[in-house]
Amino acid sequence: MLLFKKNKTTMALAAMVFSLTVPSFMWAQNASSVLFEQQTWKEIQAGLQAGTNTIIIPVGGTEQSGPYIAVGKHNVRVLALAEQIAQKAGKTLVAPVVAYVPEGNTNPRTSHMRFPGTITVPPDIFEKLLISAGNSFQVQGFKLVVLLGDHGGYQKSLEKVAKSLNAQWQGTGAKALYVPGYYTVIVHQYAQWLKQQGYGKDVGMHADISDTSLQLAVAHSMVREQALRASGPPSTADGMYGGDPRKATAALGQAGVSMQVNAAVKAIEQERNK
């Protein structure tokens, strides 16, 4: 009888220890995705305790991109690339995409707001949203908050937000990192690479061979390829600014994707090593 009681007590203690120690391991095992929104708070907490303290805020945008690319291109593209960046950098999560960004005025209608399919917010609202998101991550324990922007129109706002957050976080051990190279590598190195491949006349500013190839590489179904191949020369009236997208391919786009991913991973690693 005494032996039974001792065994029962031992088993109870073992169960209590198991309940206190194993769950954190289990949370970490279950959190296989790098997407913040697909994890429970327990999994996020366990990841932070295990050193996953970098988070990427991917900023997209909802805008017209000519007749042949769906309006959510930036949102889908930046999320897909942010996942690759997080996996390659390690110890990194990806926050939900910011899909509402400055895209022009509503009255009078300017820039992409002249077309259906575009959503805009004022720059100050956009910046406040990002600052609030950054602070949300910092108070949870994230030490490096990375700002990636897939669209050119708000790059200065991202830089401004990072500077503001870093001023707030002085002495906390946390840092905001704006990665300009994620975007500039496309308008410089990738555009130059396309020209070297013989596509110089096809490179433009918006919905061109570069934009379309990147989208084909990341989300082929968002490009109306059959209509694109059968179309005539592009025009600004259709929301296509310079260049020609009709020779775009996923293979060409993959070269640009690799440049973007590598530029961002390099920036994250350099910041971590400071």
- Residue 268 pLDDT > 80: yes
pLDDT, mean of residues 5-16: 46
pLDDT tens digits along 197-214: 999 999 999 999 999 999
* pLDDT bucket at 31, cuts 50 / 70 / 90: low
- Residue 3 pLDDT > 50: no
* pLDDT bucket at 32, cuts 50 / 70 / 90: low
- Residue 273 pLDDT > 50: yes
| DSSP helix/strand/coil, 41 | helix
pLDDT above 70: percentage of residues in the chain:
88
pLDDT of residue 270: 98
pLDDT of residue 174: 99
pLDDT of residue 221: 98
pLDDT of residue 92: 99
Contact (CB, 8 A) for 236 and 204: no
* pLDDT bucket at 231, cuts 50 / 70 / 90: very high
Tell me the fold of 33-272: Rossmann fold (3.40.50)
pLDDT, mean of residues 176-189: 98
* pLDDT bucket at 19, cuts 50 / 70 / 90: very low
* pLDDT bucket at 26, cuts 50 / 70 / 90: very low
pLDDT of residue 20: 40
